[in-house]
Structure 1
Amino acid sequence: MHIEGTERQLVDQFLETLRGLPEVRADLEASPPAGSAPGPDRGYDAQIDLWVAGKAVTLLIEVKKALYPRDVRQTLWQLKEFARRWPKAPEGKQTASLLVAESISPGAKELLRGERVGYYDSGGSLFLPAEGIYLYIDRPPPKTLSKTIRSLFSGRRAQMLHVLLIRHGEWFGVKKIAEQARVSPATASQVLTELERFDWVVSRGQGPSKERHLREPAALLDAWVKHLAVMRAPAMRRYFVPSVRAEGLVQKIAEVCAVHDVEYAITHEAAGQRYAPLLSNVSQVRCRLLTGPAADQALGELDARIVNDGANLAVIEVKSSGELLFREQVDGVWLASPIQVYLDLARSEGRAKEMAEHLRRERIGF
């Protein structure tokens, strides 16, 4: 083995994982075989001789820092090229390539499994398909990857995703999309680069004229929903507004917010019903509201009373108008964008999830 530092630690961790499995023996090649090419010219970084329940395989290990779908496609091509130069294994002994990385994205793992190429990451996930041998361990992603994904779907970066999903048929330069997302060009560039690594975004052109296009809107939206499922839901202030039903309450919110010049957006079921009717009755109105003295005055005019039970109004406080991007005015009422309503419904409870899928099918379309 000719690698050192973090790469060596990853291979050692992989060895320990293998040796912890029942009926498994794993030996690391101490040095390159006589006559073999040194270093990268051999086409792999390390070699492990593995026996599983009497079946033998030689693993040719390539170590990477991180693997995303775009990286995997390039690596698969390289592996095929290297395979042409590998010495033919003696009769009765098989070889298999395996990628070891600090982090491997879910999409990259799916591609590798489809090509029957083994992998191992620092989170402990393992896939090894070989003749007579099949090892598969699926663990949560390592912290490094989790942190990257978490940052992508939060704060101002999420505003970038919102623009891409709403305008998924368009091509964007960095400056144009940064303006629409209300973020800095640096943030826009970072997000677009990350999305390219996931293979959700494609590019054309070079330099200042370079443009990107979201070619996998469904995959991006699915990933966003999956991320929200493990995140804490935004805090809601619950109110009871007397002497009014849900539909009337929506109209009253629109009126008092207009009077006090407050930015708001109705979301969840009350908004879903206006975009794509499904439910026969909505018992509670949920509203995203830009916080401040004017918002407090509007709530006061509604005679909204804070309650623990029996609320008919729930307020999600937002701190910037960027969190209300692409809201739409329907019959005089501001609704959160269909993408935002879908995300809110998908992480909710009861029939909200059913309504989320109905909205996605009827209004979003991907």
Structure 2
Amino acid sequence: MKDFEKSSKEALCDLLRKVPIIEIKSLEAAPQTKYWAPDFIVEIATSGKSRSLVCEVKASGQPRFVNAAILQLRDYVTAWDIDVTAIVIAPYLSPAARQACREKGVGYLDLEGNAWISFDGVFIDRQVADKPPAEHRELKSLFKPKSAQILRAMLREPAHAWRVIELSEVASASLGQVSNVRTALLDREWGQVTSNGFFLCDPQALLDAWVEAYEPPSGERKKFYTTLHGSALENAARSVIGEQSCGRTLFSSFSAAQWLAPYARVGTHYFYADSEGLDKLIEALQLVPAAKGENVVITVPRDEGLLLDTVEAAPGVLCTSPVQTYLDLTVAGERAKEAAEYLRQEKLTWPR
């Protein structure tokens, strides 16, 4: 932490030196108080007027830690009689963390280049578009198959307060995995703890982040052609999907959306299936492999959780859940994105 604090001081001073009217007078440790003190203070002058920049350094820039720092800084600076500006510094500050700082009038700086500091005649506003690699890895880890099973369970009932053991059983995940997901959601302030358990307090933000990090499920993607169409194809598919005693099959992507929130029909039908379900679909739909011109696409996913996260849209009609259908549509091309947004409006709206 001391090395990062040193880097933070250097980064802030480098930023300030780029503003011609700012003169750095001193950089020193903050005077101790009975309860809490920030990490350091930079004394500056602008056009002969003194100001103190009170800085708190955080090893994590997730909203949970940044909001705590904001409260501590605001309490600390109220005791000062001179002009003071509070600043939060972190390796990387998420857009939500940056917004929280702005709303509370607290400056920020991260080592990726994002900065916002405003006082008197000084206004610094720098935004970097890309997330650092570590942030991408952390988000992708949150949405890996085992974690995704937990998130899908929670998104079915965002307001439900979960105990760790209960969520572990429902999502078929280990207690350790549930605890890791719980911590990640708390750090980003997408989750909240009450006396009754843990629940999603911002499912919309969670879903937004998932979409940004989402990649199509890994597995075999097989293309076929069938001469069946209309009700004949639908009835044949429903006969297979409704019989789950041997093999699992379900409507996915556009085909699932057509049952959940009809928007636009396409000429291709989409399914998820296991190996036995694949064979049953091939037989019932009279499928022949197609290198091009396919009108049936069946994915055999490696993640078996996708075949369990289902909804019955009508008798004998199993579809991927609204969340999974929405995610799949967002990576299926421009036309699919319109269907995805319609599905989200119809099935995935929760109060913020």
Q: Calculate the TM-score normalised by the size of structure 1.
A: 0.82
C-alpha distance in structure 1 between counterparts of 2:309 and 2:295, whole Å: 25
With over 3 angstroms needed to count, the CA separation of the structure-2 counterparts of 1:50 and 1:333, relative to structure 1, is same
Q: Does 1:13 align with 2:11?
A: yes
**SS of match in other structure, 2:77:** helix
Q: 1:297 aligns with which of 275, 279, 282?
A: 279
Aligned to 2:269: 285
Q: Does 1:325 align with 2:308?
A: yes
Q: 2:80 aligns with which of 59, 64, 86?
A: 86
Aligned to 1:358: 342
Note the alpha carbon deviations across 1:300-353, whole angstroms, 9 max, x for none.
424534434322122233124322333123232221111111111223223322
Identity of aligned residues (%): 25
Aligned to 2:31: 37
C-alpha distance in structure 2 between counterparts of 1:51 and 1:245, whole Å: 76
Q: 2:122 aligns with which of 110, 133, 156?
A: 133
C-alpha distance in structure 2 between counterparts of 1:128 and 1:254, whole Å: 60
With over 3 angstroms needed to count, the CA separation of the structure-2 counterparts of 1:323 and 1:54, relative to structure 1, is farther
Give unpaired runs (5+ residues) of structure 1: 90-94
C-alpha distance in structure 2 between counterparts of 1:156 and 1:59, whole Å: 44
The alignment yields a C-alpha RMSD, in angstroms, of 3.1
C-alpha distance in structure 1 between counterparts of 2:213 and 2:50, whole Å: 39
With over 3 angstroms needed to count, the CA separation of the structure-2 counterparts of 1:320 and 1:346, relative to structure 1, is closer
1:49·1:59 contact (CA, 8 Å) conserved in 2? yes
Q: Does 1:142 align with 2:132?
A: yes
Q: 1:65 aligns with which of 59, 64, 86?
A: 59
**More off after superposition, 162-171 vs 70-79:** 70-79
Pairwise CA distance, 1:162: 0.4
C-alpha distance in structure 1 between counterparts of 2:126 and 2:230, whole Å: 49
2:25·2:43 contact (CA, 8 Å) conserved in 1? yes
Note the alpha carbon deviations across 1:127-149, whole angstroms, 9 max, x for none.
11222222222222333333222
Q: 1:211 aligns with which of 194, 197, 208?
A: 197
Q: Calculate the TM-score normalised by the size of structure 2.
A: 0.85
Aligned to 2:147: 157
Aligned to 2:177: 187
With over 3 angstroms needed to count, the CA separation of the structure-2 counterparts of 1:52 and 1:187, relative to structure 1, is farther
C-alpha distance in structure 1 between counterparts of 2:113 and 2:154, whole Å: 33
Q: What stretches of structure 1 move > 6 A for 4+ residues in a row?
A: 39-42, 51-56
Pairwise CA distance, 1:13: 3.4
Give unpaired runs (5+ residues) of structure 2: none
With over 3 angstroms needed to count, the CA separation of the structure-2 counterparts of 1:271 and 1:16, relative to structure 1, is same
Q: 1:101 aligns with which of 82, 90, 94?
A: 90
**SS of match in other structure, 2:92:** strand
C-alpha distance in structure 1 between counterparts of 2:219 and 2:19, whole Å: 47
Note the alpha carbon deviations across 1:275-303, whole angstroms, 9 max, x for none.
12222x3211122223x3x2453354245
With over 3 angstroms needed to count, the CA separation of the structure-2 counterparts of 1:8 and 1:305, relative to structure 1, is farther
